[in-house]
Structure 1
Amino acid sequence: MRTAGEATDGPAIGSEAESRLHGIGVSPGTAYGPVVQVAAPVEPPQNEAPAADPAQAAEQAVAAFMRVAGALDAKAIHVDATARDVLKATAMIARDRALHRAVAKHLAAGQGPATSIVLAVDDFAAQFEALGGYFAERVTDLRDVGSRAIAEVLGLPVPGVPDFSEPSVIVAEDLAPAETATLDRSLVLGIITRAGGRTSHTAILAAQMGIPAVVQVQGATGIPVGTPVSLDGDSGEVVLDPDPAAVEAQRERRERLAAALSALSGAGRTRDGHSVALLANIGGIEDAELAGPQDLEGVGLFRTEFVFLSSETAPTVEEQTEIYRRVLAPFGDRRVVVRTLDAGADKPLAFADLGPEENPALGRRGLRLSQARPELLDAQLEALANAARATGADVRVMAPMVATTGEARWFAERVVAAGLPKSGVMIEVPAAALRAEQVLGEVDFGSLGTNDLAQYTMAADRMEGELSSLLDPWQPAVLDVIAAAARGAKAAGKPLGVCGESAGDPLLALVLAGLGITSLSMAPSKVPFVRLALAHHDLADCERLADLALAASSAEAARQAVLSGAAAELVQLL
């Protein structure tokens, strides 16, 4: 087993040519500090002897998994709602009886205890990766659980982020969600990982927590512990032993940016007064309680999955009403856009299993599940209507994974029947984007989920880190699809927002505004910079920048064209 300070990939770091590393910036901001390396996962001894008593070893392995689950539950008590949901979902993996049975099978076949855990985890990881979607997202969690269980079986320290007391930059092969969710924000200046992707849990949680992060940095785990590094969560650059003058320039830029951001407040609008609403993405009660007091115009995406995914039985209308009431209350009369249950074969529900599918990412998920089990949707809509009446909130409900006009009409009719005033659709399937005028003609608004839209447009699994360049929201083909949806929304006379990753990029926000997007929803920490970007440009400027991006031949060229054409006052702060 390697210690936290040993190199795990790449050549030795130290020459001038190796002083700069490059990855993908996934959480904005800059940071400077010493490196803390996360210990590598615990692995079984080589040529581990078979268990003397396989049945007893199986019981011990189950006990180890249960201790892991208990430790994760204990951590969940002290974190916010988003992190709590992640930890509880990871604890459920540790309690999975099918995983326990797989370990027992390998023990019975003559493998050692730790080796049996590795083989069982490998079995499940292969299945998860083949299923894609939500399952693929959980492979990192699964391997983290396995490594923790091995440590318990072998009596070794649990792997993960080591204890440290000095503000530092965390570096890892990848961070399991359980690790990211429990980081001490007062000590973690930034995050660098060798693996990961734009929509990985590490990226999402880092942005939610306001921690600058860069992923897909080759050579990251070879950086010696204690090495001072600077990182830029926008450009993706990591500099080892940076020049003091460069560090000072980065600090000054942070101060200029902070001053510029503090000078602006209120609704999002361009310099000439064109409105672009700035909204928050939230995933639970504590997210809502944290976002509510902030300078936001409301919520553009409330993900409701947490209400369902941790339940063995369908939550009652009464249970849901109380949860939604607590989410809506912090926003007063501001809008809260609620995405109805986005689950299905790739986000399995114990109480709504539609059976196995060859390709769950293209299967009965989102609204398709709701059409197969309409009682789940009707109960959710009833609870949302109850909560809206109790709080007086401006609740707007949208359906995920809508592909046709008929689906949009079906959903809108159920929303009206529940007594809710406004229905909408997520446009994350190219079919809906291309037929946006007709689809949006059936509802009151639309919202582009650019993460899934990029995945389906580029035929690239959003959880496959090696395909991150294809999933870049600057890809001209993805921008073409967004532009088509915006033209359709304008023709239908309906507002169209964006609630995917691209909404929080200050430069891309200008392009989206120029394409006709009317609202942008993002992690709350990203709102001030987007507000600033809009304030430095007229609508005509945004339209010009959109034309530049659409004319580009690659994602990199699109971003560079917009960067070159944007206001100097903004570029100096990037």
Structure 2
Amino acid sequence: MTPAPLTGIGVGGGTAWGPVARMAPPPALPAPREVAAAESPAEAAAARAALTAVADDLARRAAAADGEAADVLTALGMMAADPALADSAEAKVCEGRDAPHALAEAFAGFAATLRAAGGYFAERVADLDDLRDRAVAHALGLPMPGLPDPGHPYVLVAADLSPADTALLDPARVRALVTEEGGPTSHTAILAKILGLPAVVACEGAALLTDGSPVLVDGGAGTVLTDPSPEQVAGAAAEEERRRRTAAASSGPGRTADGHPVRLMVNLGAPHELAAAAEADSEGVGLFRTEFLYLDRATAPGAEEQREAYRRVFDAFAGRRVVVRTLDAGADKPLPFATAADEPNPALGVRGLRTAVRHPELLDTQLAAVAHAARATGAEVWVMAPMVSVPAEARAFAEQARSHGLRTAGAMVEVPAAALRAGQLAEECDFLSIGTNDLAQYAFAADRMLGSLAALLDPWQPALLELVRQSAEAGTAHGRPVGVCGEAASDPLLALVLVGLGVTSLSAAPGCLAGVRGSLASRTLAECRELAGLALAAPDAAGARRAVTAAARPAA
């Protein structure tokens, strides 16, 4: 009897098969050893040496990498080299701890501080955990943890992946990703989409997978089949080849098989992403995240700095559309000059457009800079406000944008209130853009950073799709385009459902567009609407995915 596949959340399309190679577990701390006063200098030196070794190792890796990988590794190396961390470890040694335990306690103290800060800072706790494991391993004389190297291509299985690991992941060696933790917006999920790797996250059964055991990973269905038969592997290979041919055969503007247009655009969030985004076969940028200009600094960027950054993007997309999301500060992106540090629940506090009420000069300066840069380039520049809750906010934002000469202003639909009143929002602005990541978080009262709630954040959730339907239909009724720029837009199968719900544009990572374009080209608008009906009628996300997968499967 064929065993039932393991299930999780599929975040990377396609299928892949191969032997499992597990990420090595973090080093286990031995029983603590009492350190006498005479031994303290040597133990303190060992703790500092471990941190230096980790920092030097990451610096070497950064020098050998490029782009985002180099940036990630450099940032981690700087964290490991923080003198305050070494001082804390030395203080623990002076209290009688041995070097490995002193390091673990020092990192625990730093992690507690970041966790208490919440939002963006809390996300960095995983980085500290990875650095701790590396430092402790060095202090114990063990190999530093990292990616396995079995000498052949493999399916990587892990509890989760650290930024340092993902920065060095080689898609020529790693055929697919399976993690026990994570969610649809996790670091692993985003990486899988960028690299085009099949991936299944939040897969509880992954803990049972052993090194060398063969598995078949279906990133679209969110399943991991153990010990697949030759027939199953052959069938998956044929389907994967068909999918790749379909994706490669289509180019240019997105459209369904019967010619219904669906604008396909890229998401852009950092300068190092610009070259790949501009080269992609897209109709522009559907989500230009501007937070990179504001993060990790004590004061807001000036008008000239902003103008130059926006101009580079607009020049790269001359002749195409660029949709600029104004500053989305707060919650997971706290800024010392824009957000309060004492909010008990930042995700429900002053974030997104709400920061403009407290600091109106931030939005005014940004809109002026966008308008100035737009006038000097050939791009078609639109602007949209994040975290719009009521129609009055959309109206005020549109009026302010137009006062700067920006003719097209829209509102993001990220909270249920906006979706429920999408018609009134559409009356006040020129377009709507649905951020499915936050919309799912608020609709299900589920923290998008909490891996244990990942199933609720699955973009296939029928309740979420119902909010998308309401927003899209309201836009159609008022002659307004309605796009999706959240992670849902990158799934070729879910893209059919979104179009069937009335969405007019999809914005995703550049590497995902070919699959989405090919998927749309294989179905008529009527077929997309039928698939959307199946998804809406399903009891849950898994049921919606199964129903649409079965209905969309090509005839034998």
Quote how far apart the aligned CAs of 1:103 are: 4.4
Matching residue within 311, 314, 317 for 2:300: 314
CA distances 1:44-66 after superposition (whole Å, capped 9, x unpaired): 32223347476886676566546
Quote how far apart the aligned CAs of 1:424 are: 1.9
In structure 2, distance between residues paired with 1:63 and 1:413: 58
In structure 2, distance between residues paired with 1:526 and 1:345: 28
Letter in 1 for 2:542: E
Map of 2:180 onto structure 1: 194
Quote how far apart the aligned CAs of 1:557 are: 2.7
The answer to whether the 8 A contact 2:221-2:549 is kept is no
In structure 1, distance between residues paired with 2:434 and 2:82: 35
Secondary structure in 1 matching 2:469: helix
Quote how far apart the aligned CAs of 1:434 are: 1.4
The answer to whether the 8 A contact 1:289-1:327 is kept is no
Quote how far apart the aligned CAs of 1:432 are: 1.4
In structure 2, distance between residues paired with 1:377 and 1:256: 47
Map of 1:239 onto structure 2: 225
* 1:31 and 2:8 aligned: no
Matching residue within 209, 213, 228 for 2:214: 228
In structure 1, distance between residues paired with 2:443 and 2:396: 25
Secondary structure in 2 matching 1:426: strand
Q: Which moved more, 1:278-287 or 1:160-169?
A: 160-169
In structure 1, distance between residues paired with 2:333 and 2:166: 21
Secondary structure in 1 matching 2:456: coil
* 1:501 and 2:484 aligned: no
Map of 2:427 onto structure 1: 441
In structure 1, distance between residues paired with 2:205 and 2:22: 12
Secondary structure in 2 matching 1:508: helix
Secondary structure in 2 matching 1:468: helix
Secondary structure in 2 matching 1:533: helix
In structure 2, distance between residues paired with 1:207 and 1:174: 16
In structure 1, distance between residues paired with 2:339 and 2:452: 31
Matching residue within 460, 471, 474 for 1:485: 471
Matching residue within 531, 541, 550 for 1:545: 531
Secondary structure in 2 matching 1:161: coil
Describe how 1:54-453 pairs up with structure 2 within 5 A: 61=47, 64-65=50-51, 68-69=54-55, 71-76=57-62, 79=65, 81-87=67-73, 89-91=75-77, 93-94=79-80, 103=89, 106-107=92-93, 109-125=95-111, 128=114, 133-163=119-149, 165-453=151-439
Quote how far apart the aligned CAs of 1:532 are: 2.5
Quote how far apart the aligned CAs of 1:143 are: 0.9
* 1:526 and 2:525 aligned: no
In structure 2, distance between residues paired with 1:453 and 1:149: 39
What runs of 5+ residues in structure 2 fail to find an aligned partner? none
Structure 1's 51 and 326: CA in aligned 2 closer, same or farther, altered over 3 A? Answer: farther
Describe how 1:42-57 pairs up with structure 2 within 5 A: 42-50=27-35, 52=37
* 1:562 and 2:551 aligned: no
Q: Which moved more, 1:210-219 or 1:104-113?
A: 104-113
In structure 2, distance between residues paired with 1:60 and 1:315: 41
Map of 2:449 onto structure 1: 463
Q: Which moved more, 1:217-226 or 1:53-62?
A: 53-62
Q: Which moved more, 1:417-426 or 1:521-530?
A: 417-426
Letter in 2 for 1:246: Q
Secondary structure in 1 matching 2:455: coil
Structure 1's 561 and 238: CA in aligned 2 closer, same or farther, altered over 3 A? Answer: closer
Q: Which moved more, 1:105-114 or 1:384-393?
A: 105-114
The answer to whether the 8 A contact 1:199-1:462 is kept is yes
Map of 1:511 onto structure 2: 497
The answer to whether the 8 A contact 2:249-2:518 is kept is no
Indicate the percent of aligned positions where both proteins have the same amino acid.
Answer: 52
Structure 1's 555 and 214: CA in aligned 2 closer, same or farther, altered over 3 A? Answer: closer
Secondary structure in 2 matching 1:441: helix
Map of 1:10 onto structure 2: none
Quote how far apart the aligned CAs of 1:21 are: 2.9
Letter in 1 for 2:353: L
Map of 1:40 onto structure 2: 25
Q: Which moved more, 1:316-325 or 1:515-524?
A: 316-325
Quote how far apart the aligned CAs of 1:531 are: 1.9
Q: Which moved more, 1:102-111 or 1:439-448?
A: 102-111
Q: Which moved more, 1:366-375 or 1:172-181?
A: 366-375
Structure 1's 98 and 453: CA in aligned 2 closer, same or farther, altered over 3 A? Answer: farther
* 1:472 and 2:462 aligned: no
What runs of 5+ residues in structure 1 fail to find an aligned partner? 1-15
The answer to whether the 8 A contact 1:280-1:522 is kept is yes
Map of 1:21 onto structure 2: 6
CA distances 1:243-273 after superposition (whole Å, capped 9, x unpaired): 2332222222222222222222221112222
Map of 1:6 onto structure 2: none
Structure 1's 551 and 240: CA in aligned 2 closer, same or farther, altered over 3 A? Answer: closer
Letter in 2 for 1:314: A
Instruction: Give the TM-score, by structure 2 length.
Output: 0.90
Give the paired residue count: 555
Quote how far apart the aligned CAs of 1:30 are: 1.5
Letter in 2 for 1:525: G
Q: Which moved more, 1:197-206 or 1:417-426?
A: 417-426
Alpha-carbon RMSD: 3.0
Structure 1's 429 and 525: CA in aligned 2 closer, same or farther, altered over 3 A? Answer: same
